[in-house]
Structure formats: structure tokens, C-alpha cells
Amino acid sequence: MSAPLLEARSVSIRFGGLKALSAFSLTISRGDLKGLIGPNGAGKTTAFNVLTGVYEPTEGEVLVGGERVNGKRPFQINRLGVARTFQNIRLFKQLTALDNVRIAVLPETRRWFDAARVQALKRGGAAQRALGAALDATDNYRDWWRAFLRTPGFLREEAQVTARAEELLSVMGLSHRKDELASSLPYGEQRRLEMARALGTRPKVLLLDEPAAGMNTREKADLMVLIRALRDRFDVGILVIEHDMKLVMGICEHLTVLDHGETIASGDPAVVRKDAKVIEAYLGEAPAHVA
Amino acid sequence: MKSFLPVLAALTVLAVLQLVLGSSEYFVYLASLVGVNVVLAVSLNVINGMTGQFSIGHAGFMAVGAYVAGTTSLLLKDDQLSFLPPAMSDQLFLLLALLLGGAAAGAFGFLVGLPSLRLRGDYLAIVTLGFGEIIRVVIQNSDGLSKSLAALPGLAPVGRFVGQFGGALGVSGVPQRSTFFMVWFWVFVLVLLARRLSDSSHGRWLKAIREDEVAAEAMGVDTTSYKVRAFVVSSFFAGIAGGLFAHFVPIINPGSFTFVKSMEVVVMIVAGGLGSTTGAIVAAVFLTLLPEGLRSLFLKLGGGDASLAQKVDQVRMPIYGMLLVVIMLTRSQGLFGTHEAWDLWARRKRAGAKA
């Protein structure tokens, strides 16, 4: 079996004296639909932030497609195929729905200089580094000049970007909103727009941070169906954070439960549900603590 | 090919205007001043409006462009391309000087862009402000600098170049080669580029940084690289504006590139609406012509007495301030918000197609 698309190997994160996450392990493979649950402040979002490069692990390592990504910047990890949504919705509010998705879609520009070669140069001696930087800059600014001159190649790429973004909007049922500002969309649509945007980056793994937050039961049920459909349609592995346990039980094939940064249970939802520690964390039935 | 049509049309219009009005000195001077301010405002809008990084040291980049371009022209003043008519050769030399000035300013933009990777909001503003002042003070003391540079091995030519800056007295005798056509050619180029940038993936990435840096990064936007690029492109054009300025004012000295000049540009883009190129243009035209209009008004009020009119320059900043307060109170998004005149046009066309 090939390496999992995304893997955390006993990752720990410490903020000063606080251990926000300890020995967190997880793998996501193609077609997975896994859940990450736990009460408020359990470290779920911290786990997402580590996986996407917002925080660097204090211990352990994160691998994307078998490649160690500790210390890589979020945009680099995104380009390797990991996309996410945010718990508190971070759309580009003053831009249209279409632009929100278009930003995520990378135009397929061919570079003059081979990226791997330039990177190799940048690791060399001073002269080589300078050359590498110059080649890189040449390519970067060439891109801008293509945009300034609107070359046929540039226009073709932009048309592809737009077509792709429109396709994603239509998959998420947002076509009718494409020219509206993201901030003017109703809450549920904003959540869907965030997913469309994440899918725009052509991820292999999709991380959804409380996609159902603030929705009513009916909307939540629809959303769960949609998430499953997305997995099948885009052939991605999905990890969902959700705090409502009942809900994730319904769709996730695997659950990891966090509490105070510790993984207290992990495995099949049916088994996890009956785990004593999980019940304790959720219901607070902890006579030992109370006493 | 279609993308070259507006260029051809604009060049024709500019050439005709040049022929008709190019001989009126007052018009050319005023139009050039307006043009330079439009270039400054539109270019600053790329950093402040599109990318959302608050930079208030634009006069510094302008100064770099003005001094490098001006000194280049001064040194090459007597050179001619013998195979061309003198006027044309002059214009080519001007173009060369402008590009050098722009490139130098772009290089400084890169340097200032680097701290912008770590700083945000007020802190970045303070750094850019400081940068603008450093440039001005260094130029003011260019005599000492040129001696120090000349003493360093290999930097003697740079020292000689800097020696031309003339300290606080400034550079005079720069050939007055700028024309209405040249200034507005750059205005047109920059406005076109700003518009095309804004409507491309690159522009959208800049706007993504403005809207939400964390989300932009999570969506694969290399935010640091893009912030620096915004600074480089923007300061390149500020350098061009400075270069043009150097070629139609009789003397350039550090006094032209103070903090007040930087603030003037900031006022223009804030009043016009941060993020709107149209707003930047309209506000730059209006705020440049305002003191001139006031001057003629005061001249009339004073019954031809020039002393009252001279006071205009002193009341200019308070008037800007009040104007800005009024705009912020009535339209906190600025005159145009983030809208563009050409978007309205496109929307109308789309609506027309639907009906």
C-alpha cells in the first residue's frame, strides 16, 4: 500500500507551559472519511493548524504524501494537496463568490525555468543562490507581464480558472450567487462557499473545521450527505471536526476523540461511542474529578 | 490583438492633445503635475488598496526615481543619438532615465517590502514612514555620502553619481524633456496595468491578502512573495513618477519629497476609495487641481493681490484634512469604495445582453 496522503506521527504542540496537543497520530488516505471530535477546547482546531502548517509541531512529524512537511509554510502544504475550511468562516468577504473560488484555483502556467532546478540552485553556493533567485524572480515577474499584456496563453489560463471555479460553484449549488459579495451570502451558503474554495486548490485531502456549526438539524443532515458526495466526486480523503457526536457517528467511518489535547479514543464509531473515557469527556460524569 | 486596441486609441488621443495643447506652458505644467500625482496614487493603491498593506512612505520611492532619473539625464544631457532627430533622441534618453529611476525605486521597494513580511498595520506604516524620511535625509546629506562612497574601492562611480544630488540645494539643470505626451503615456500605461492586474489571478491574490491573510495562505497564496511583489511594482511606478517630475520642474530638492508629499498621496487614495483605481485617479486629479483653483479664487478675492494667493499653499493641508474628514463621515469607503468605473460599464453591458 502506498503512503497515506496525510499523516501525523505522534505530534505534540506546546504553547509555553500548555500542551495543546500531545502525541497526536492520524492518517488520511484516499477515500477516507474520518472524524475528529471532542469537547470545546480539546485541541481539534490546533490539530488542524498543525496539519496545515499554521503551527510547527514541537515534537513528532507531519507527512504529506510521505514527505515531511514540518516547518513548511501553509501555502506550500496547500500546494502539496491539503486544503481546509475554517471554524469561524474566513472568506474573502469583500470579493464575489466567484472570485473567492478563483483565488484558490492555480492557473496552469508553465514556468520558463524548472522549479526543482531553481530550488537546487538556491541551496548551492552564493553565486548559485543569486542565480537561482534571479531565475525565480524572472519567472515571477514574467507572470505579471503576461497578465499586463494579456497574452493569449494568459487569457486561456484565466478562462480555465474561471471555468473551474464556476464548476465548483455549481457543484455546491451556488451558481446563482457567483457575482454576489461573499459577505452578503446567508450563513449556510458561506459555509458551502468555503468548501468550494477549498476544493478549488485541487486537494487530495480536505479538512473541514466544524462545517455544521450554527446549522439546524435538518441542514446538518443535508450537509453530511453533501460531504459524503464530495468525497466520492472529488476522490479526496476528508477529515471532519465536529463537536456534535451524534452527527459524525452517522457519516464518519473512523473517529479520533480528543480531550485536553490527548487522544482518548480512536477507531470505529460504534466502538468509540461506548468508550468509557469518551462518555466521561462528553457527559462530564467524572466523580473522581468532582470529588 | 484586441488587447492592443485601447493602447493605439489612447496613443492617438494623447498625440492629438499634445499637438493642440502642447505649446501652452501652463496647461502642460498643470497636466504634468496631475499626471504625476495620478501615477503616484494609482501605484500606491496597489500596495494600500489591493494588497491592504498600509504604506505611507511613497515620497521616498518617488525621490529615488527623481534623483536617479534626473541625474542620469543631467549627466547625459549633451549626448545625442546622431541618427535620430534631436527631439526624438531626447525622448529616448528620457525614457532610459525614467526606466533607470523606476528600476532603482523598484530595488528600494524590494528592500522595504522585506520588513512588510513580518509587520502589519500600524507597524508597517511606521517603517515605511521611516524609510521615506531616511531617503530624504540621506539625499539631504548626499555630499558626505558621496565622499564616503568615493573612498570605497569600486564604488567611486556611484560616489560621483551621488555627488550630483547636491545635498539640500538639490539638482538643477536637469533638461526639461518631459512632455504632456510622455507623462500621460505613463499614466495610461499604469492605469491599464493596474486594471489588468486587478482582473487577473495575481491581482486576486493580492486582494486575498488584503481580505484575510490566513485564509489566503491556506488557499495556496505565497503571501510573503506577493507582498514584496506589490511593493516592487508599486515603487517602480512611483520611481517613474519621480523621474517625470524631475524633468518638468526647474529644480528637485529633498523638500519636494517630504512626509507631507507621502500623506498627500495617501489622502488621495483614501478619499478615492482604497482599492479603487478609478477613485485614485479622480481624487488625484481633483486634489492636484484644487490648490490651483483656490489660488485663482484667492487671486480674484484679493483683487489681483498675489500675497493672498500665496497663502493657498499654507492652507492646503488643513483643507485636505477637512475634506478627508467630511468624506470619511459621509462615505467611509471613500468616493468609489472598491468599485471601478469599468466594472459599471461591464455590468451595464451584461445587463444589456440579458435583456
Domain-located, residue A105: no
At B303, the pLDDT band (50, 70, 90 cuts) reads: confident
* A161 in contact with B, Cβ within 8 Å: yes
Chain B residues 189-248 with a CB less than 8 Å from chain A: 192-193, 196-197, 200-205, 207-208, 211-212, 214-223, 225, 229, 233
List pLDDT tens digits, range B180-216: 989 999 999 999 899 899 989 999 999 999 999 999 9
List pLDDT tens digits, range B146-175: 888 888 888 888 888 888 888 888 888 888
List pLDDT tens digits, range A51-108: 999 999 999 999 999 899 998 999 999 999 999 999 999 999 999 999 999 999 988 8
Burial B159-171 (b: 16+ CB within 10 A, else e): bebbbbbbbeebb
Domain-located, residue B111: yes
Q: Which residue of A has its CA nearest to B217?
A: A75
H helices of B118-155, where?
121-140, 142-151
| Residue B309: C-alpha distances to residues B33, B255, B302, B303, B313 (Å) | 19, 21, 8, 10, 8
B-chain CB neighbours of A75 within 8 Å are 217-223
Q: Which helix (H) or strand (E) covers residue A209, if one does? A: strand A205-209
Q: Please compute the mean of the pLDDT values over residues B90-109 and round it to a whole number.
A: 93
Domain-located, residue B242: yes
Domain-located, residue B15: no
Domain-located, residue B23: no
Whether residue B102 is predicted with pLDDT greater than 90 in this model: the reply is: yes
Amino acid A2: pLDDT: 66
Domain-located, residue A190: no
Chain B residues 311-340 with a CB less than 8 Å from chain A: 338
Chain B residues 255-314 with a CB less than 8 Å from chain A: none
Amino acid B15: pLDDT: 85
What is the CA angle A104-B201-A72, rounded to 5? Answer: 50
At A289, the pLDDT band (50, 70, 90 cuts) reads: very low
* A149 in contact with B, Cβ within 8 Å: yes
Contact A40, A243 (CB under 8 A): yes
Backbone angles phi, psi at A79, to 5 degrees: -65, -20
Cell triple for B83 = 541618427
Domain-located, residue B346: yes
Residue labelled with grid coordinates 441542514:
A219
Backbone φ/ψ region at B83: left (φ over 0), alpha (ψ -120 to 50), beta: alpha
* A103 in contact with B, Cβ within 8 Å: yes
Residue labelled with grid coordinates 491573510:
B213
Note the residue count of chain A.
291
Contact B194, B45 (CB under 8 A): yes
Domain-located, residue A40: yes
**Among candidates A74, A92, A158 on the partner chain, residue whose Cβ is nearest the Cβ of B211:** A92
Whether residue A174 is predicted with pLDDT greater than 90 in this model: the reply is: yes
Taking the C-alpha atoms of residue B119 and residue A36, their distance in angstroms, rounded to an integer, is 34
Whether residue B288 is predicted with pLDDT greater than 50 in this model: the reply is: yes
Instruction: Give the global pTM.
Output: 0.88
Number of domains chain A is built from: 1
Whether residue B128 is predicted with pLDDT greater than 80 in this model: the reply is: yes
Q: Please compute the mean of the pLDDT values over residues B61-65 and round it to a whole number.
A: 95
Domain-located, residue B255: yes
Domain interval for residue A251 = 1-81+203-291
Whether residue A146 is predicted with pLDDT greater than 50 in this model: the reply is: yes
Q: Which residue of B has its CA nearest to A183?
A: B211
Domain-located, residue A23: yes
Task: Please state whether beta strands A6-15 and A33-37 pair in parallel, antiparallel, or not at all (unpaired).
Answer: unpaired
What is the DSSP code string of A3-66?
Answer: PPSEEEEEEEEEETTEEEEEEEEEEE-TT-EEEEE-STTSSHHHHHHHHTTSS--SEEEEEETT
**Residue A232: which CATH number?**
3.40.50.300
Q: Do A104 and B220 touch (CB under 8 A)?
A: yes
Domain-located, residue A278: yes
Domain-located, residue A222: yes
Domain interval for residue B166 = 29-354
CA proximity to B38, closest of B152, B189, B255: B189
Whether residue A113 is predicted with pLDDT greater than 80 in this model: the reply is: no
Q: Please compute the mean of the pLDDT values over residues A199-224 and round it to a whole number.
A: 89
Q: Which of B2, B50, B200 to mutate to test the interface with A (most CBs of A within 10 A)?
A: B200
Amino acid A275: pLDDT: 85
Q: Do B196 and A141 touch (CB under 8 A)?
A: no
Q: Which of B201, B226, B350 to mutate to test the interface with A (most CBs of A within 10 A)?
A: B201
**Residue B326: which CATH number?**
1.10.3470
Amino acid B158: pLDDT: 84
At residue A9, what is the residue type? R
Domain-located, residue B4: no
Amino acid B352: pLDDT: 60
Note the residue count of chain B.
355
Contact B252, B70 (CB under 8 A): yes
Burial B212-236 (b: 16+ CB within 10 A, else e): bbebbbbbbbbbbbbbbbbbbbbbb
Amino acid B340: pLDDT: 82
Q: Do A158 and B223 touch (CB under 8 A)?
A: no
Residue labelled with grid coordinates 488516505:
A29
